[in-house]
Structure 1
Amino acid sequence: MEPQKVAMSIDPSGGGRDTAGVIGGFLGADNRVWITHDKTKAMSSAEWSRTACLLAHETNAGVIYVEWNFGRDMCTLAIGTAWEALQNEGAIPKNKLMPGIDAVSAKQGKLLRAEPIAQQMVEDKVRLRGAFVDLENEWATWQPTDADSPGRIDASCVLVYGLIPEANKGAIVHAPLPTAPQPGQFGRGRGGQVTGPASAYGRRIGK
């Protein structure tokens, strides 16, 4: 499956939760969103920003969607700082431009945000390209009355809304980027399109 637009999404740890959602994927030529990576785990801001930058480099992502309800401008600053540090360490080539950052703000509760994405899965518009047991389990067991805030679900919602804007319907809105100078350089503009290698195999997540 040839990627038409490669992206990744971050749901930073915050609001009493230490799990940061980091999800990678792409919009395919079949107009489906394919989820290719799940790096979600308990991480500090320094850890999730480095993890996200390494994944963006690995997948050649053109845009990083980050939910900034918690942390605000510090989220985008953390990504820029991590990218620059990884370049200085040699983990990312010096001449590689950082993907564009698209900061989004959630305007609806989790039920209203997650239900449309669950429907996209049922309609086979979102597929997993690989085995993602934890992600599947969270989607299968999470209830809107749960007290916790699963980072995988939040990050995968942001990814799908970013890659299929017509599914959004006000669930998230694009937040203004900080005007202060950022470490590193923003590479491609918001929503820049790139291609990248496909991996593993695909299977339907909707049952």
Structure 2
Amino acid sequence: MTRAALLDRVAALPPAALALLRDELAARLWARRWDSWTPYPWQVPPAEIETHGMWLMMGGRGTGKTDGCARYMVEHVNGPPCDRRIPGGHRMAIVAPTQGDAVEACVNGPSGLRAHDPRVVLRTTTGGTHVRWPSGAEAKVFGAHGPDDVERLRAGGNRCLVWMEEAAAMRRLAEALTHSAMGLRIGPNPHYIASTTPKPRSEIRDLIARPDVIQTRGRTRDAHHLPQVMRDKLIARYAGTRMEAQELDGLVLDTVEGALWSWDLLDLTRVAAAPPLARVCVAIDPATSNTPESDLTGIVVAGTARVRTPDTTGHLRAHGYVLDDLSGRYSPTDWARRAVDAYHLHRADCIVAEVNQGGDMVASTIRQVDRTVPVRVVHATRGKLTRAEPVSALFEQQAVHLVSSLPDLEDQLTTWVPGETDSPDRLDALVWAITHLMIRAVGNVAAVA
């Protein structure tokens, strides 16, 4: 029978028969993919997971963390029901840094749920975004980025399994763990699985120290499914650096000697929310090219409080609050639009932009997006260390605070050693913002405004 004739016969089938054929083909495809999967040792669920609260899979780039957790969730769905009273016996949750990340990586990505079970269907309704299986089992998709995400988690309902994807990159990891734990109560063994490239955040260190968390760890150099040329390239680029230990070997690192900020210092300054603010600015450290390999454009939002309160030295100050980090690789128009959007969202007073590299282009690009936005240009006449030290000192005096978590910014703050590493774009934007808001030059002395 020719292909055309076969297609004609299929097209002539009644809807019920077509549905049966589709389900049968999907089941066969799933079985073929399922049986061909070969796990790494660190992707094998520990036997103790039946008696523990979390399986935490940490590893370097390309070690299959998402792949292993997706496989586990599909196994869970096709295993014994956690509660026979609910459709499919399972009601789960997937939490990622953003809801979009969860859909892209955990569901649709090459290592996501659909790669392990093509019968998975993604549905978005007024009740949220859900992953559903033919059995009726479902997993609701959540983000952990903004206050609205936390509120959705708070009202997320009861679950038998929660998958935390890239936990160390979540802006609101602590709140995500708190609210998801309150709903983790379906079945005889409700538990977490978590996948992440580790960072030495307090929440990650706390998880590692917990007796009910089991860890497995994979290294990029051992990820034989990753093309050898890619492994060689990554290892050669980062060999002997902290990036190799953290991003390739999956290790949680201690404080960097010589860095101006430490994780302990950032945790001391951290607050859940900012008080009413008197001034807000958006600071930009722009990249000078728009190629995919270009440097990041640093974009940081910060403000100062209306009410003055004591710092650790007893002086009354209008404390600073770091509100957001929007840094990324953008074209000039895109970073200008991001900055202008942040200006309006946070009701800022101005945009502060470094113009050493871009000259008048920086200010004119912003004005092309919105000519009503006030732009204050700054010039880096002093070295990065000279500019950054007074801001670091304000953190040490607990006069500047991080609002919630800003993982990528925090990672750069705690790993930049003056004179030893690349240009810290996020850090630069933070320094410009806090300098503009809080420090004025009085002769050769930096004083808080």
1:38 to 325, 335, 339: 325
**How many residues get paired?**
158
- Partner residue in 2 for 1:22: 299
Q: Deviations over 1:73-126 (max 9, x none)?
A: 000000011126xxxxxxxxxxxxx33111010111111111111111111111
- Partner residue in 2 for 1:58: 345
- Partner residue in 1 for 2:368: 81
- Partner residue in 2 for 1:186: none
- Partner residue in 1 for 2:285: 11
Q: Is the 8 A contact 2:355 2:377 kept in 1?
A: yes
Residues in 1 aligned to 2:440 and 2:378: alpha-carbon distance in whole angstroms: 15
Residues in 2 aligned to 1:131 and 1:117: alpha-carbon distance in whole angstroms: 18
Residues in 2 aligned to 1:23 and 1:145: alpha-carbon distance in whole angstroms: 23
Q: Deviations over 1:22-43 (max 9, x none)?
A: 0112111231110111100111
Residues in 2 aligned to 1:54 and 1:37: alpha-carbon distance in whole angstroms: 12
1:1-207 aligned within 5 A: 1-14=275-288, 17-29=294-306, 30=308, 31-83=318-370, 98-166=372-440
Residues in 2 aligned to 1:4 and 1:99: alpha-carbon distance in whole angstroms: 18
Deviation for aligned residue 1:6: 1.4
Residues in 1 aligned to 2:357 and 2:404: alpha-carbon distance in whole angstroms: 30
Q: Deviations over 1:57-84 (max 9, x none)?
A: 1111111110111111000000011126
SS at match of 2:297: strand
Aligned sequence identity (%): 28
- Partner residue in 1 for 2:224: none
SS at match of 1:54: helix
Q: Is the 8 A contact 1:7 1:25 kept in 2?
A: yes
Residues in 1 aligned to 2:432 and 2:443: alpha-carbon distance in whole angstroms: 13
Distance 1:109 1:72, change over 3 A: same
Q: Is the 8 A contact 2:367 2:373 kept in 1?
A: no
Distance 1:169 1:159, change over 3 A: farther
Q: Is the 8 A contact 2:282 2:302 kept in 1?
A: yes
RMSD: 2.1
- Partner residue in 1 for 2:250: none
Q: Is the 8 A contact 1:17 1:149 kept in 2?
A: no
Deviation for aligned residue 1:169: 7.0
Runs of 4+ aligned structure 1 residues displaced above 3 Å come to 167-171
Gaps of 5+ in 1: 85-97, 172-207
Deviation for aligned residue 1:147: 4.1
Residues in 2 aligned to 1:132 and 1:48: alpha-carbon distance in whole angstroms: 19
Q: Is the 8 A contact 1:138 1:152 kept in 2?
A: yes
Distance 1:60 1:170, change over 3 A: farther
Distance 1:111 1:155, change over 3 A: same
Gaps of 5+ in 2: 1-274, 309-317
Residues in 1 aligned to 2:421 and 2:415: alpha-carbon distance in whole angstroms: 13
Q: TM-score, normalised by structure 2?
A: 0.34
Distance 1:70 1:143, change over 3 A: same
The one-letter code of the counterpart of 2:288 is: G
Higher helix share: 2
- Partner residue in 1 for 2:152: none
Higher RCO (C-alpha under 8 Å, 6+ residues apart): 1
